[in-house]
Amino acid sequence: MSSKATDNTGTADQASYVEPGAEFTRDTNYISTRITADGRDGYPVEAGRYRLVAARACPWANRTLIARRLLGLEDALSLGLCGPTHDQRSWTFDLDPGGVDPVLGIERLQEAYFARQPDYPRGITVPAIVDVPTGKVVTNDYAQITLDFSTEWTAFHRDGAPDLYPESLRSEIDEVAELVYRDVNNGVYRCGFAGSQDKYDAAFDRLFARLDWLEDRLTHRRYLVGDTITEADVRLFTTLARFDPVYHGHFKCNRNPLTAFPALWGYARDLFQTPGFGDTTDFVQIKQHYYIVHTDLNPTQIVPKGPELSGWVTPHGREELGGRPFGDGTPPPPPRAEEAVPSDHTPL
């Protein structure tokens, strides 16, 4: 028996099992091929060539949806959306007519992974970018994907696109993002999939110590790094959006709900009400995914009705801290009708 429970047979946003006595460890061996302006890995940035496959339920995929919207890459990079639930084999395109992605012509994302590597041994994860002409997954390295959206896809950014990864702030963004990933983004999973009381206690304490640190950091500054929205904010937001609906109860992260942190709750609402964030957040799919897929944690698969979501659209007062959400840029236009979150899945 392995000494650690690893997320190497499931998907990027869930562990496949809880191993008694084990500490949850995420498998981070992703397909590292990059799509770059110079095409040095064999995949040059080209409009219309690639398809982003994501799921609104998944926090790691939600990052790519936000960045794509903020930067205005919709015309250059098409979007395929998987449903909120899946089996052990793969995410599926059950939201599409006939359960088939209309561009890739496949029922399971697994098919695109196997086109790249027939014996692909790891989890079939979202987000993934697929090369449409060959049907092969190019990359599923979610952390690098959003950075490359900012730095390699610049030829296709919309007019007024914000700089989410400004060169002068990159070292600080990277430092903050790593702390957030270790203790918060992944920290909630270390709580939820801990295999023993001591592993859970350690993960719990580490998570809330970091949330307290973030609360202090955001009390007197509007954004995590600098005075505009950056990659660091995109990475934190997707965990905060899922905190009260899922992580507080389902993953036993229950010292305090998000709403008990004045600065963090105000910060989360500020981002949610910013175009690109709330309009890519689907609370219904988020809850369906975690409570239905994680049968080891929730064997009845009952999806809770709460929490009440109207607070997400209440005034946050964060404008008083200054800052400009898009810097010298502008907000993105409303989402396209075919990509809009259903109105009954959001308080917007």
Active site residues: 58, 189
The first and second tokens of residue 308, run together, are 């009440």
The first and second tokens of residue 332, run together, are 């993105």
The first and second tokens of residue 81, run together, are 């959306």
How big is the CA angle at 204 (ends 248 and 231), to the nearest 5 degrees? 75
Q: Whole-angstrom Cα distance, residue 337 to residue 77? A: 16
- Residue 68 backbone phi and psi in degrees, to 5: -60, -45
The first and second tokens of residue 298, run together, are 């929730």
Alpha carbon of 191 to those of 22, 248, 262, 293: distances in Å?
11, 10, 23, 17
SS (H, E, C) 94-114: CCCHHHCCCCCCCCECHHHHH
Residue with tokens 């957040």: 281
Host H or E run for residue 137: strand 136-139
The first and second tokens of residue 98, run together, are 């006939």
**Cα-atom radius of gyration of the chain, to the nearest Å?**
19
